């Protein structure tokens, strides 16, 4: 009976972590308002970095779930490789976002007192969700072709 409670607790923990990852990915301003940090206020820069952490947590939960399902062995290994490589890949993606997004315009609006720009937030959410989708679909397609670490 204690094994059942451990399994239920583990599933609840994974669901809470997945929910936190989705909130960090889609609504980082709500996450930053809920978890106040005086050193990291709710700025556009911190919202983008929170989205990157959402991708990392989402990949972590996906790796655990796919490792439990035995038929997804190759997919689990590919997600593990993506999780290990994600700090470097996310840093490159964030550099690309800083370089080619209108962040300077958003920063000027933030300094003027208007911190929210819905169109920019929507574009960032779409960009990060697309990036996550490319990672997951790529890992799945590689696993179906038998390309994964042995």
Express each pLDDT in 85-120 by its tens digit.
999 999 998 888 777 766 656 666 656 556 567 777
Helix (H, G, I), strand (E, B) or coil at 113: coil
Name which residue leads in pLDDT, 138 or 97.
Answer: 138
Instruction: Tell me if 149 is assigned to some domain.
Output: no
pLDDT of residue 137: 94
Contacts of residue 84, Cβ cutoff 8 Å, sequence gap at least 6: none
| Contact (CB, 8 A) for 47 and 30 | no
pLDDT of residue 48: 83
Tokens of 9: 């607790």
Nearest to 134 by CA among 142, 123, 145, 122: 142
Instruction: Tell me if 125 is assigned to some domain.
Output: yes
pLDDT of residue 97: 78
pLDDT of residue 13: 92
Q: Rounded to an integer, what is the distance from CA 114 to the centroid of its chain?
A: 26
Q: Which residue segment(s) compose the domain that 36 sits in? A: 2-144
Q: Structural domain tally of the chain?
A: 1
Name which residue leads in pLDDT, 13 or 147.
Answer: 13
Instruction: Tell me if 134 is assigned to some domain.
Output: yes
Nearest to 44 by CA among 99, 91, 98, 87: 98
- Could you write out the DSSP letters of every residue in 115-133? ---HHHHHHHHHHHHHHHH
The Cα 14–Cα 62 span in angstroms is 9
pLDDT of residue 66: 87
- 72-86, 98-112, 136-150: segment of lowest average pLDDT: 98-112
Instruction: Tell me if 150 is assigned to some domain.
Output: no
pLDDT digits (tens, 9 = 90+) for 15-72: 999 999 999 999 888 888 887 777 777 777 788 888 999 999 999 999 988 888 877 7
Instruction: Tell me if 122 is assigned to some domain.
Output: yes
pLDDT of residue 26: 92
- 40-44, 82-86, 125-129: segment of lowest average pLDDT: 40-44
Name which residue leads in pLDDT, 112 or 147.
Answer: 147
């Amino acid at each position: 009976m204690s094994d059942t409670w451990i399994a239920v607790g583990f599933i609840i923990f994974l669901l809470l972590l997945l929910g936190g990852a989705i909130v960090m990915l889609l609504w980082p301003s709500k996450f930053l308002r809920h978890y106040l940090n005086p050193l990291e206020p709710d700025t556009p820069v911190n919202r983008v970095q929170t989205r990157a952490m959402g991708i990392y947590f989402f990949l972590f939960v996906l790796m655990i779930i796919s490792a439990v399902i035995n038929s997804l062995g190759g997919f689990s290994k590919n997600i593990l490789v993506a999780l290990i490589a994600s700090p470097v890949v996310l840093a490159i993606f964030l550099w690309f976002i800083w370089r080619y997004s209108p962040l300077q315009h958003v920063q000027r609006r933030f300094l003027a007192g208007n911190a929210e720009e819905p169109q920019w937030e929507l574009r960032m959410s779409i960009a990060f969700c697309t990036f996550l989708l490319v990672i997951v679909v790529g890992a799945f397609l590689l696993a179906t072709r038998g390309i994964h670490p042995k």
